[in-house]
Structure 1
Amino acid sequence: MSAHVLVADDILANRKLLQAKLSHEYFQVSTACNGQEAVDLARALQPDIILLDVMMPVMDGFEACEILKADRSTQHIPIVMVTALGDREHRLKGLSAGADDFLTKPVDDFALLSRVRALTKYKLVMDELRSREASGRRMGVIEGDDPNGQMSPARILIVDDNERQARRISLALKDDHLPMTIQEAGGLSGNKNTGIDLLILSLESKSFDPLRICAHFKTAIGTRDLPILVIADFEDEARGMRALELGASDIIMRPIDTEELSARVKTQVRKKRYVDAMRRRLDESMELAITDQLTGLYNRRHMLNQLGQFLNRANRGDGPLSVFIADIDHFKSVNDTYGHDVGDEVLKQFAERMRENVRPADIPCRQGGEEFVVIMPNTAGDVASSVAERVRRHVCGEPFRIDSGKGRLDVTVSLGVATTLSAGETEDDVIKRADEALYEAKHAGRNQVKSRAA
C-alpha cells in the first residue's frame, strides 16, 4: 500500500535518509526544511502522512502540528513527530498537540514503515468518508460544520491475562474513561464488545495468542473499525510491529508511562469519534436523500427507483407487482379552511396510519402534495386491494387530531390499485392504470378503493 509522505526536517541529511527509505518502498515523498514550509506544502499537496521533526527553525514541529490539526483542510492528515531517543517531554507534548504517533532518532526502518502503513490505512478510510461527505454537500443533503469528535468518557477493554498489570492500566485511565479488564468482562468469548471505543491488548499475554486476537478483531465485521492499542516490551518490538501490520492502531512500550498512555488513548478515541461522527452524518444524509422530510416516508426519487427495480423483477417472472395510489379527499379545502399548518398535521398523521397498515415488505412513499404511492412486490391484485381497503378504513375510522390536538377533523381517502398484466410493462404503464383507478374512485363518490388489477 503506497502513499504520499511529506517529510519535514531542517537537516538535509535526515531528509535525504528518510526520503531514500520511503522511496525504496515505493512511497511518494515531498520534503520541507522547516515547520512553516511543512504547513504550506501540506495545504497545497494534501499528503497522506506528515513526518515532522520537533526542532526546526522558523516554526518548530509542535506549532506546525497544532496549526495543521486546527485547519479543516489538513486536520484529517496523520502526523508523526520525530524526536530524539528517550525524549519523553517532547513525545507527550507532540501527542498533546494532536500528533498521531512519534518516531525516535535514529529512525528504525521497520518502525518507520510499520507506522506509516498503519496510518495510511486510517487515511484511506478518512479519504473515502470525506469524499462521500463532499458529494453529500454538493447534493445539499449535508449541511453544517464538520464533526468535531467531542471527547466524552470512552469505554475501554483491557485484554491482558496478568490481572495486576491490567488493573494498573485501568487505574491510570479511570479518571477520564470507563476502562474494564477482560477478567471483569468475563472473557472474550462472552463479550460482544458493544459500545467499546478502544481495545488495549498486551502482547505479553500467555494464555492466548495476542496477535491472533488482534487479527480476529480486525477481521470480524462488527469490530474491524475498533482501534487497538498494543502494549509491547522493547525486546519484543518486532511483534509490536507485526501487530501494526495486522491492523493495530498504535503501540506503547513497557515500562508504561501513564501520561503517554493517557495521551495515546485520547488520540485513538478522538480519531474513532471523528470517524464515527462522519459515518453517522453520511448515514443521515443517505436517509435525507430518499426520505420525505414532512412525513418520514420515502420520497418520489426513491419511489421511482424502487418501482423500476421491482418491475424489472416482475417482468423476469418473479411474481406480480402491485401499486396503489392514495389521494386524500378534499385536501385543498383543509388548507383553505384551516391553514397549511393543519394541512401538514393531516399529512403526517395520514402517513403514520398508512405506514401502520401496509405490510413490512411494502414500500410507502409520498409522491407529492396529498398523493401517496405504495409499492407492493410479489403481490396479486386482490391482496393489494385488501391492503388498500385496510388503509382506507383506518383513515376514515377515527378523526384526525388538528391544531396541536385541540381539534378533530374527519378525513377520507380514495385509492386506486394496479397490478402488472404482462411482461414488458413500464413504470408509466402501471402508474397510469393506478391513476385511472384512483380517478374512478373519486368519480364514484370518494372514500373507496377501485382496482385495475389483472
Structure 2
Amino acid sequence: MTARILIVDDMDVNLRLMQARLTAEYFEVLTATSGADAIAICERETIDLVLLDVMMPDMDGYEVCRRLKGNARTRHLPIVLITSLDQPADRVAGLEAGADDFLTKPVRDLQLFSRVRSLVRLKILTDELRIRTETTASLVARHDVMAELAGRAPSGRLMVFDDDTGLASRIKRILKTEHVVEATREPAAVLHDEASSAYDLFVVNLATASYDGLRLCSQVRSSDLLRQVPILLVSDFADDVRTAKALELGANDYLASPLDRNELLARVRTQIKRKRYDDGLRQSLRETIALAVTDSLTGLNNRRFLESHLPVVIERARTDAKPLSVLIADIDHFKRINDGWGHDAGDAVLKEFAARLKDSLRASDLACRFGGEEFVILMPEADGRTAQIIAERLRSLVADAPFDVAGEAILVTVSAGIAVLDPATDDWESLLKRADRGLYEAKRNGRNQVVALAA
C-alpha cells in the first residue's frame, strides 16, 4: 500500500532522514518547514497522511493540527504528531487537538510504518464513503450532510476483551463517566452474537493467556457483522512486534500499559467519533440513494429506478424462461381533480392511489410512479391472465370506494394497459410502448377499464 505523505518539521536534517525512510518503503513524500506551508500544501495537494513535528516556531504542531481539523477541506486527513515530549499529558494534548496518533522521538521503523499503513488504510475506506455520500447528497440537494456528521457526539458502548479482571475493572472505572462499558473473558460469545454489531468500540488486551489477541483481531475484521467496529489494543510497551501485527490485521489504535487515564479517554473518544462519522456516511449514502430512486410524494420507486431496473428484469425473465407482464395505469380526469379541489387534493389522491395500488399487488410485483398521475407495475412471472386479474383488482379497489379528501368524498377511476413480454422481440422500451398503447385504447374506449395488447 502506497500513499502521499507530508512531513512537517522546521529542522532540515529531520526532514531528510524521515523522507529517506519513507521513500525506501515506496511512499511518495512531500515536505514543509513551517505550519503555514503545511496548511497551504494540504489545501492545495492530495495528501493521505501528515507527519507533523510539535515543536516548531511561529505555529506549533498542536495549532497546525487544530487548523487542519477545523477546515472542512482537510478535516479528514490523518495526522500523526511527532515530538521528543514523552509525557502522557503531551499525548493527550495532541489527541485533543485532533491528532490521530502520537509518536515519540526517536521513532522506530516498526512504530512508524505500522502506524502509517494503518491510518492510510482507514483513510482510503473513509474517503470512498465520503465521496459517494457527497455525490449522492448533491443529487438530492442535501448539502449539509458532511457538516452534520462531523459534529456528532462521541459517547458510546464498548466491549472490553480481557481475562485480567483487574485491568478490565480499571478500564471500566475510567470510561464509565462517558461511555457504557461491558467486559468479557469469552470472545466467542460476542463474535457470534448479532447484537454485537451495535458496539462502538472493542478494547482488546493483547497480553492475554486464555485466548490469542491477534486471532481475535483477525476474526473481528473477517466478520461481515463486526468488521466496522474499531479495535483499540492495550499492549505491553515492549511488545512492538505483536502490536504491529495487530495493526496490520486491522486494529485501529493502541496504548501501552500501564494505562494513563487521560490518554485512554482521548483515544476512545477519537475512535468512537471516527466510527460514528463512518457509520453516518454509510447511513447517509443509503438514504440519499433511496431518495434518488424514490418518489417523495407516494413513496414508490420513480422513473429513474424503473428505467434502470426494467432491463434487468427482462433479462432475468429471458434467462429463466419465465413470463413477465407490465401494466401502465393512469388516473382518469386527474386534471379535473386539481382544477376543482386544488393541488393539495390532487396530491392526497395520488398518495391514496399509491396505497391502494400496493394493496392490489403480489409481494413480487413492483410499482413505480412514472410521472404525474401515471404509474407502472412490473409483474414478474405473471402471464396475460394473471396480469389481467391484478389489473382488474386495482381498477376495482380504486373505483368502488370514494377517496376521502379533506372530509369530502371524491369518485376516482383508473384506466390501464397491459403488455406481456415477447422474449424474441421486446426490449424495455417496446414493452412499455405496447402497454402505453393499451392504456390509450382504454382511455379512448371510455376509461375505467383495462386493455391488454398482444405483441
Q: Shorter-normalised TM-score: what interval?
A: over 0.9
Equivalent residue for 1:136? 136
Quote how far apart the aligned CAs of 1:428 are. Answer: 2.8
CA 425–387 in structure 1, closer or farther in 2 if over 3 Å, else same: same
SS at match of 2:351: helix
Q: For residues 117-266 of structure 1, what are the structure 2 equivalents within 5 Å?
A: 117-137=117-137, 139-146=139-146, 147-182=149-184, 187-188=189-190, 191-192=193-194, 193-266=196-269
2:447 is matched with which residue?
A: 446
Task: Give, in angstroms, the shift of residue 426 of structure 1.
Answer: 2.2
How big is each residue's C-alpha offset from its partner over 1:412-432, in whole Å with a ceiling of 9 and x where there is no partner? 212211101341212232222
Of 335-344 and 122-131, deviating more is: 122-131
CA distance, structure 2, for counterparts of residue 9 and residue 125 of structure 1: 28
In the superposition, relative to structure 1, how do residues 113 and 134 fare at CA in structure 2: closer, same or farther (>3 Å)? same
User: Alignment partner for residue 352 of structure 1, among 339, 355, 362?
Assistant: 355
- Whether contact under 8 Å (2:155, 2:272) holds in the other structure is no
Distance in 2 between residues matched to 1:247 and 1:288, nearest whole Å? 33
Aligned partner (choices 381, 384, 389) of residue 381 of structure 1: 384
SS of the residue 2:265 aligns to:
helix
What's the secondary structure of 1:429's corresponding residue?
Answer: helix
CA 1:431–1:98 in structure 2 vs 1: closer, same or farther (change >3 Å)?
Answer: same
1:235 alignment partner, SS class: coil
- 1:254: how far off? 0.1
The residue identity in structure 1 corresponding to 2:150 is: N
Mean alpha-carbon deviation: is it higher for 364-373 or for 151-160?
151-160
Are the equivalent residues in 1 in contact too, given 2:356–2:398 (CA < 8 A)?
Answer: yes
Q: Distance in 2 between matches of 1:260 and 1:248?
A: 17
**Inter-CA distance 395–185: structure 2 relative to 1 (3 Å threshold):** farther
Give, in angstroms, the shift of residue 445 of structure 1: 3.2
Contact 1:384–1:417 at 8 Å: present in 2 too? Answer: yes
Distance 2:99 2:154 in 1: 19
Pair 1:297 & 2:296 matched: no
Shift of 1:183: 5.3
- 8 Å contact kept, 1:420–1:430: yes
**1:283-362 correspondence to structure 2 within 5 Å:** 283-316=286-319, 318-362=321-365
For residue 41 of structure 1, report the CA deviation from its aligned partner: 1.3
> Is the partner of 1:64 in helix, strand or coil?
helix
Structure 1 runs (4+) deviating above 4 angstroms are 183-186
Please provide the CA RMSD for this pair.
Answer: 1.9
TM-fit CA distance, 1:380: 1.0
Correspondence for 2:393: 390
2:159 partner amino acid: L
Aligned counterparts of 1:350 and 1:71: Cα–Cα separation in 2? 48
Aligned length: 452
**Cα distance, 1:140 vs. partner?**
4.5
Give 2:162's aligned amino acid. D
Superposed CA offset, 1:270-319 (max 9, x none): 11111111222221121122111211111111111222222233344531
8 Å Cα contact 1:381/1:419 also seen in 2: yes
User: Matched residues in 2 for 1:366 and 1:23: separation?
Assistant: 56
Distance (whole Å) between structure 2 residues aligned to residue 6 and residue 152 of structure 1: 28
In structure 2, runs of 5+ residues without a counterpart are none
After superposition, the C-alpha distances for 1:395-442 in whole angstroms (9 at most, x for unaligned) are 233332312xx3332322122111013412122322222122222323
SS in 1 for 2:10: coil
**TM-score if structure 2 supplies the norm length?**
0.95
**Structure 1, unpaired ranges of 5+:** none
Equivalent residue number for residue 269 of structure 1: 272
Q: Please tell me whether the aligned partners of residues 83 and 90 of structure 1 are also in contact (alpha carbons under 8 angstroms).
A: no
CA distance in structure 2 between the aligned counterparts of 1:250 and 1:347, rounded to whole angstroms:
53
How far, CA to CA, are the matches of 1:44 and 1:19 in structure 2? 20
Aligned mate of 2:405, from 402, 408, 423: 402
Alignment of 1:414 onto 2:415: yes
Measure, in 1, the Cα distance between the counterparts of 2:321 and 2:8: 62
Greater Cα shift, 133-142 or 32-41: 133-142
Indicate the residue corresponding to 1:437 in structure 2.
Answer: 438
